[in-house]
């Protein structure tokens, strides 16, 4: 990250052109807008690549080179682009890749690579999140004091009094901006054994301290290492009183460095009950071990960055204008809604109405995107609309719309994309009806993964078809198409909560694949296709056989009035329905939202419920279930009949109502 930021700053300082090129789907387009905003003072050129398929094609490379850049930055693409990397390297152009895909084969060479799938595969992120991280790092680096060297420090002691107790561990991190320069970590041998309480609190044992270095030597090395740099502590009076006392006692020096204390910074900025380092670490989601000096020093350094820079007025404006775009791209790209991605969509998607870019505001108005049904409208209207140019082989049209800064500029491009979108929707309806007939007719619905060959399906509809199959049946799907006169097939895969990259790694068959866990692409020789399909089917059968009962949803806190002291979890459902849920279902669902890929709707089990009535509403039935004098109305596809039964159902918030849907039931005998 720091290397990429340095290259961008150098290019901006010299007035050199920076070319930004992204994939032409909504994730890529959002990434492009974020980087364009971050580099708004720079001399930039914007490009989108690809047609129906993913990647930087020769015409795209040619267009970028004609703009004569000195730096090229990719967004949501690039990790497998060897031809582009070679073309840029040949002309001495610096190449920065920001991506979230697993490479198809070897990683493309670049001067800097920021790829979340390579750095941390378990933290599934969209390309726009990676682009935001680069843009944010660049904006922060523009602050005058950002690159100054600072040292975050922490100590572990044998007690609370500098005059009666001793330091037993020092940890420190020296950093400049987002770049860690060096670390210092050492135990200090105490004058006597530490108590069991101190050992439990610090995680340091007497056995470890027996081999600790000499105290005076450690203090001397630490004094030389910190020099005159500014020191950062959380609750500085405690740490500095110990360090100053031991410097005076053993070295004859006082501690005279400038100090920054994150504790009063936190108290003035955050309305929290606890401002302990551990509490703040949890609040901001900082990942580090606890109660050891070096991890706590690293946490203090990250906390300083958040409080001193991330919450500054200028950066807050950048975040407010671009985090909603990152949320939009995340929502569009089959990313599992967990961790950072879930937080983005949950906290920042609604901010899309506050984005000041003319094209975004105009699209929200023209497509009638409402705040009440925001996620539904974005998913059904804006995202398909902006994806249409890519699907129909005219990706530049989406860029024309997003670059528009006036009504005149946007009208022509909008009208053209609307025509294409209407045509795409018509083709999709016809094609998908045929696909559904095949799925049911061939019995594919019974398989753990739905895999089908669709030779006549237009390439631009392959990805949307795979997505719709997964959404409709709740299963992984792989849709294959074959280019005319080719001896290979290409495919789009959607995971429906499964890691498709891991699946294909275990299936063999000679397929080339790349992407991210929730959505990836495949290319395979025709002679190997049938064996590959067979291997995938066997893999998912084994995976289903190994499934264990689901774990409790993360982040759910339960009260003492809940049955057996907490929510009960059973095989086949997530939660047993009880009085607590009956009263708090809205709060429960709010905690777990947003639902989607990687974060499905919770399943509730109701034991011994009596079906007292059923009324047909069109093709659906509204049944009323009773238990302990309480009634629950649930929508179902068929009438289960009257009597006592065990049921599994789910719930969904729509506007101010909670709607329940029956998933399965089992009648009680007698």
Q: Known catalytic residues?
A: 291
Burial per residue of 139-163, b for 16 or more beta-carbon CB atoms within 10 angstroms, e otherwise = bbbeeeebbeebbbbbbbbbeeebe
DSSP secondary-structure letter at 273?
S
Burial per residue of 35-62, b for 16 or more beta-carbon CB atoms within 10 angstroms, e otherwise = bbbbbeebebbbbbbbbbbbbbeeebbe
The residue count of the chain comes to 670
Burial per residue of 290-301, b for 16 or more beta-carbon CB atoms within 10 angstroms, e otherwise = eebbbbbbbbbb
Q: Which residues contact 22 (CB under 8 A, 6 or more apart)?
A: 28, 29, 31, 32, 47, 48, 49, 74, 75, 76, 77, 127
Whether residue 323 contacts residue 107, with contact meaning beta carbons closer than 8 Å, is answered with: no
- Vertex 622, ends 620 and 624: CA angle to 5°? 155
Dihedral in degrees, nearest 10, Cα atoms 22, 54, 319, 322: 80
The β-bridge relationship of strands 149-157 and 230-233 is parallel
Distances (CA, A) of 204 to 166, 171, 197, 294, 300: 14, 13, 10, 13, 20
- How far is 272 from 454, CA to CA, in rounded Å? 56
Q: In this structure, what token pair is assigned to residue 68?
A: 């004569």
Strand partners, 170: 155, 186
One DSSP character per residue, 2-25 reads: HHHHHHHHHHHHHT-EEEEEEESS
One DSSP character per residue, 658-670 reads: EEEEEEEEEEPP-
Distances (CA, A) of 670 to 249, 365, 496, 645: 84, 59, 39, 11
């Amino acid at each position: 990250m720091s290397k990429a930021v340095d290259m961008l700053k150098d290019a901006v300082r010299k007035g050199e052109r920076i070319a930004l090129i992204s994939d032409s789907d909504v994730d890529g387009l959002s990434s492009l807008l974020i980087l364009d905003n971050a580099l708004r003072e720079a001399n930039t050129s914007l490009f989108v690549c690809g047609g129906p398929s993913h990647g930087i094609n020769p015409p795209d490379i040619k267009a970028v080179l004609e703009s004569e850049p000195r730096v090229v930055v990719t967004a949501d693409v690039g990790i497998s682009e060897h031809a582009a990397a070679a073309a840029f390297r040949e002309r001495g152009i610096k190449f920065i890749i920001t991506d979230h895909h697993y490479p198809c084969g070897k990683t493309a060479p670049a001067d800097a690579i920021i790829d979340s799938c390579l750095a941390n595969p378990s933290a599934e992120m969209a390309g726009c999140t990676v682009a935001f991280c680069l843009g944010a790092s660049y904006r922060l680096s523009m602050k005058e004091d950002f690159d100054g060297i600072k040292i975050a420090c922490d100590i572990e002691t044998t007690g609370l009094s500098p005059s009666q107790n001793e330091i037993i561990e020092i940890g420190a991190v020296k950093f400049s901006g987002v770049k860690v320069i060096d670390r210092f970590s050492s135990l200090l041998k105490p004058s006597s054994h530490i108590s069991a309480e101190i050992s439990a609190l610090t995680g340091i044992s007497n056995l470890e301290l027996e081999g600790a270095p000499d105290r005076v030597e450690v203090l001397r090395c630490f004094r030389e290492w910190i020099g005159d740099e500014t020191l950062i502590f959380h609750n500085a009076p405690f740490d500095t009183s110990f360090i100053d006392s031991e410097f005076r006692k053993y070295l004859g020096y006082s501690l005279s460095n400038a100090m920054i204390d994150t504790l009063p910074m936190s108290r003035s900025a955050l309305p929290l009950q606890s401002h302990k380092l551990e509490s703040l670490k949890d609040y901001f989601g900082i990942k580090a071990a606890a109660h050891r000096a070096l991890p706590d020093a690293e946490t203090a350094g990250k906390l300083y960055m958040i409080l001193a820079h991330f919450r500054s007025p200028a950066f807050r404006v950048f975040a407010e204008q671009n985090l909603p775009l990152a949320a939009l791209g995340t929502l569009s790209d089959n990313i599992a809604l967990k961790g950072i991605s879930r937080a983005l969509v949950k906290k920042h998607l609604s901010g899309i109405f506050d984005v000041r870019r003319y094209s975004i505001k105009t699209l929200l108005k023209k497509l009638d995107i409402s705040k009440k049904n925001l996620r539904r409208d974005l998913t059904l209207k804006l995202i398909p609309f902006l994806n249409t140019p890519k699907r129909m082989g005219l990706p530049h049209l989406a860029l024309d719309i997003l670059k528009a800064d006036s009504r005149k500029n946007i009208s022509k491009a909008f009208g053209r994309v609307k025509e294409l979108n209407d045509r795409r929707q018509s083709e999709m309806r016809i094609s998908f009806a045929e696909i559904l007939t095949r799925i049911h007719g061939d019995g594919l619905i019974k398989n753990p993964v739905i895999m089908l060959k669709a030779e006549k399906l237009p390439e631009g509809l392959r990805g949307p078809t795979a997505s719709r199959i997964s959404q409709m049946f709740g299963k992984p799907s792989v849709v294959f198409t074959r280019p005319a006169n080719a001896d290979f097939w290409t495919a789009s895969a959607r995971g429906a909560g499964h890691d498709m990259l891991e699946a294909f790694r275990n299936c063999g068959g000679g397929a080339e694949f790349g992407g991210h866990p929730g959505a990836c692409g495949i290319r395979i020789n025709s002679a190997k296709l049938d064996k590959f399909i067979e291997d995938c089917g066997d893999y998912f059968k084994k995976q289903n056989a190994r499934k264990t009962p689901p774990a409790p949803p993360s982040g759910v806190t339960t009260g003492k009035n809940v049955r057996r002291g907490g929510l009960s979890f059973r095989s086949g459902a997530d939660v047993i329905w009880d009085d607590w849920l009956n009263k708090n279902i809205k709060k429960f669902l709010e905690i777990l939202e947003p639902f989607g890929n990687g974060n499905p709707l919770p399943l509730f089990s109701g034991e011994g419920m009596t079906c007292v009535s059923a009324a047909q509403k069109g093709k659906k039935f509204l049944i009323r279930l009773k238990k302990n004098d309480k009634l629950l109305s649930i929508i179902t596809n068929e009438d289960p009949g009257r009597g006592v039964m065990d049921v599994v159902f789910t719930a969904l918030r729509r506007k101010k109502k909670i709607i329940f849907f029956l998933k399965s039931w089992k009648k009680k005998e007698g």
